[in-house]
C-alpha cells in the first residue's frame, strides 16, 4: 500500500549561486558527511547537491511533513549504490516517524540536468 508520494524540482543555479556566495555552508547544513564528500568530489558539485536537496524535500513531502519540526535535513541521507541507484537512509526523527507510520520501503528516483534537479519519493507500507 502507498503511504505517500513526494516530488521536488529545483534549479541547479540556485544551489550553484549559494555555493559560490556562501562556500560550502549550505551544503554542510543539508548534507550528511558522506553525502557532502560524494557531492564535493565532482568538478561541479552543484547538480549533485541540488539532487540531494530535491530528494530530501521529496521524502519529507511523501511523509506529509516537509522539512521543519518533524524531519530535518540531517535526518534524511541519500546514498548512491554501486549500480547507480539512489538509496535513502533515515536517521533520528525520520526513522522514528517512518516506523510509527508503518513504512516498510522508501523508493527514490533522482534526475538532474545542467539546469534542473528533481526527485520523486514513494513511501510504501
| Residue 61 appears among annotated catalytic residues | yes
Distance CA 116, CA 38 (A): 19
| Residue 107 appears among annotated catalytic residues | no
Q: Is 123 exposed, middle or buried (0-12, 13-18, 19+ CB in 10 A)?
A: buried
Catalytic annotation, pick one of 56, 91, 107, 112: 112
Q: Contact, 105 vs 124, CB < 8 A?
A: yes
Distance CA 73, CA 60 (A): 9
Catalytic annotation, pick one of 61, 91, 107, 115: 61
86 torsion bin: left (phi>0), alpha (psi -120 to 50), beta (else): beta
Q: Contact, 70 vs 63, CB < 8 A?
A: yes
Q: Which residues form the catalytic set?
A: 61, 112
Amino acid at each position: 500500500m502507498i503511504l505517500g508520494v513526494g516530488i521536488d524540482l529545483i534549479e541547479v543555479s540556485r544551489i550553484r549561486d549559494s555555493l559560490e556566495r556562501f562556500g560550502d555552508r549550505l551544503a554542510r547544513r543539508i548534507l550528511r558527511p558522506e553525502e557532502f564528500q560524494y557531492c564535493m568530489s565532482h568538478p561541479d558539485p552543484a547538480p549533485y547537491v541540488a539532487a540531494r536537496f530535491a530528494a530530501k524535500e521529496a521524502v519529507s513531502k511523501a511523509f506529509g511533513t516537509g522539512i521543519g519540526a518533524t524531519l530535518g535535513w540531517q535526518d534524511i541521507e541519500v546514498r548512491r549504490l554501486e549500480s547507480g541507484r539512489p538509496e535513502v537512509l533515515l536517521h533520528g526523527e525520520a526513522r522514528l516517524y517512518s516506523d510509527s507510520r508503518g513504512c516498510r520501503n522508501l523508493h527514490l528516483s533522482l534526475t538532474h540536468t545542467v539546469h534542473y534537479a528533481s526527485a520523486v519519493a514513494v513511501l510504501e507500507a
